[in-house]
Structure 1
Amino acid sequence: MTDELGFGPEKRRQGNLDILSGKVTFRDAFREMLESVSGNGHSFDFCKEELKKNITLDAGFKDFHRYCKEHDIPIVIISSGMAPIIRAVLSSLIGEEDSKEIEIVSNDVDIHEDGSWSIKYRHPTSGFGHDKSQAILPYRELSDPPLIFFFGDGVSDMSAARHADVLFVKEKPGGDNDLAAYCNREKIPHILFEDFSHALKTVSAIVEGRTTPKEALDVGKAH
């Protein structure tokens, strides 16, 4: 959204690099990105409709979603985006009924009287804005904690990266794989994946006992 409706890809890319290096927080940089969209006069509803038209479903996600339903594995979207947009896009991509079954844990939005809008962070005092680890850590305290798979693709996922049992990192074209760079720097084991059709092979192998989380992480790539 920032690339097309805000201040453009170059400044957005520099913002991500500044987050990765620790020069700025994700919270502040992402707010600036979104302010560039609102500041260009784009209403929130317009942005929502544009994203619905232009975002495509990750290859293999429908099969992945079906497998999870068949094996009673809940899918939770933990996002640094805004809930109304995520819900609208998800409903458009997989249908409203299936969308309703997926919990969304994210930020929200404030719509102002003049028609402008701004992100409403879930954890405004955190440098992440939405500290995704707080959605994962409560499961660790259960008497019988579940195995947690986490799928991430960028700097917004750094807060969750070290807290999953099995971390999948999306490979991106162009080499701007900031989450992988962060994990390599921090020595966080992870599995690179191109799309959910590849990820499903690894997830199903773990769920069905054909491999272990450690073995999958040692391989480091979903094929």
Structure 2
Amino acid sequence: MAPIAITPPTVEPKQVRPSMQRANTANMGTKRKIICFSDFDGTIFMQDTGHALFDNFGCGPERRKVLAHQLESGERTFREVSNELYASLDVPFEDCFEVMKTALDIDPDFQTFHEFCVNNSIPFNVISAGLKPVLRRVLDHFIGEDMSKHIEIVANDAKVTATDDGNKWEAVWRHECELGHDKARSINEYKAAARMESDNGTIPMIVFIGDGVSDLPAAREADVLFARRGLKLEEYCIEHNIDYIPFDTFADIQKQVIKIAKVDEQKTRGKGLPSNFNPRANMWRRVSSRAAVPVFAALSPAKEEKAFLWPDTFTTPATVAATVPPNVEAAVAVAAPVA
């Protein structure tokens, strides 16, 4: 569920077909530590779960247009708009999922890729601006509870209360910020924990998978970025010369992860990192021992790098030093259906 995607005029998700031959999901034999973070709407699922909820049980598409304009113009913040969207819902929690069974299409190769991750001990995390209970319920239905339980969901929480007047929905925001969930911060929190737990400096390879421009703050913290072909994230990467790997389905991602993992395992033995790694993200990997640099100092971006957190302004050297409006990223986020 993603209130961040409330604008109607978006790029329609590309219709994808499953691979002709099912990929091998067996253990690939590498000892390289890997962890995957993935967007939800437009990435794992081709449609937006928030649209299904708000259009069928809430304010409807016309009101979403108004809210989208208010968000983009800066009249209201992301959290203010999202709170109104959630407040418009009046449906018991369990009842809202019947419509999603027919409204949503999962990436045709996601289940195979996830099986590959489980068999290779690769943690797979959903990182979303939506509501964790909703995303969990959708995954339980589409891939089964036995497989869904292997996926950690990093998202906001939800409170749904039955009252005499109906059902009240509220978002319980993950972070005290205008976006409610700072995806880049969540990944850096994981990095800090992984760094502190590493005795030999072997830090997991961070993979991020997404489709929209609002994924960039999190994507830039990853070692390797996968962008769904033909959508906003790929367009932005091309325009701004950002390294990424395009994909049509998760089968493409699986093939590349196998290649990159084996190369990375060899390179990290003393020969450097693969050329397609994100140089900014690799800063945290350079700390090879706990005594070298304080972990939070290693994770803190330089001042000029902070501009990347607001990609809409990251165009010229002059804008890098400019003061960035606090909700500009939220305005950019309405450009595409993302979680």
- Cα displacement (A) at 1:49: 3.3
Deviations 1:2-44 (A, max 9, x none): 263243289459839955x8776543444444444x1xx4443
Question: Is structure 2 residue 223 aligned with structure 1 residue 165?
Answer: yes
Structure 1: which 5+ residue stretches go unaligned? Answer: 218-223
Alpha-carbon distance between aligned partners in 2 of 1:16 and 1:216, rounded to the nearest angstrom: 37
Match in the other structure for 1:2: 51
CA distance 1:16–1:2, change in 2 (3 Å): farther
Relative to its length, the structure with more helix (as a share) is: 1
Alpha-carbon distance between aligned partners in 1 of 2:223 and 2:118, rounded to the nearest angstrom: 20
Report the more deviating stretch, 207-216 or 108-117: 207-216
Report the more deviating stretch, 86-95 or 188-197: 188-197
Q: CA RMSD in A?
A: 3.4
Aligned length: 208
CA distance 1:97–1:196, change in 2 (3 Å): same
Match in the other structure for 1:201: 255
Deviations 1:93-114 (A, max 9, x none): 1111111121111111122343
Match in the other structure for 2:108: 59
CA distance 1:61–1:131, change in 2 (3 Å): same
Question: Is structure 2 residue 180 aligned with structure 1 residue 129?
Answer: yes
Indicate conservation of the 8 Å contact 1:191/1:216, yes or no.
no
CA distance 1:13–1:80, change in 2 (3 Å): farther
Letter in 1 for 2:174: R
The two structures have a TM-score, normalised by structure 2, of 0.52
CA distance 1:26–1:193, change in 2 (3 Å): farther
CA distance 1:191–1:135, change in 2 (3 Å): same
Report the more deviating stretch, 110-119 or 56-65: 110-119
Alpha-carbon distance between aligned partners in 2 of 1:171 and 1:27, rounded to the nearest angstrom: 29
CA distance 1:71–1:28, change in 2 (3 Å): same
CA distance 1:32–1:184, change in 2 (3 Å): farther
CA distance 1:42–1:72, change in 2 (3 Å): same
Alpha-carbon distance between aligned partners in 2 of 1:10 and 1:196, rounded to the nearest angstrom: 34
% identical aligned pairs = 35
Q: Secondary structure at the match of 1:84?
A: helix
Deviations 1:193-220 (A, max 9, x none): 2221222221121123299753488xxx
Indicate conservation of the 8 Å contact 1:152/1:179, yes or no.
yes
Map 1:10-25 to 2 at 5 A. Answer: 11=64, 15=68, 25=77
Alpha-carbon distance between aligned partners in 1 of 2:137 and 2:274, rounded to the nearest angstrom: 33
- Cα displacement (A) at 1:56: 2.5
The structure whose RCO (Cα within 8 Å, separation 6+) is larger is: 2
Match in the other structure for 2:205: 147
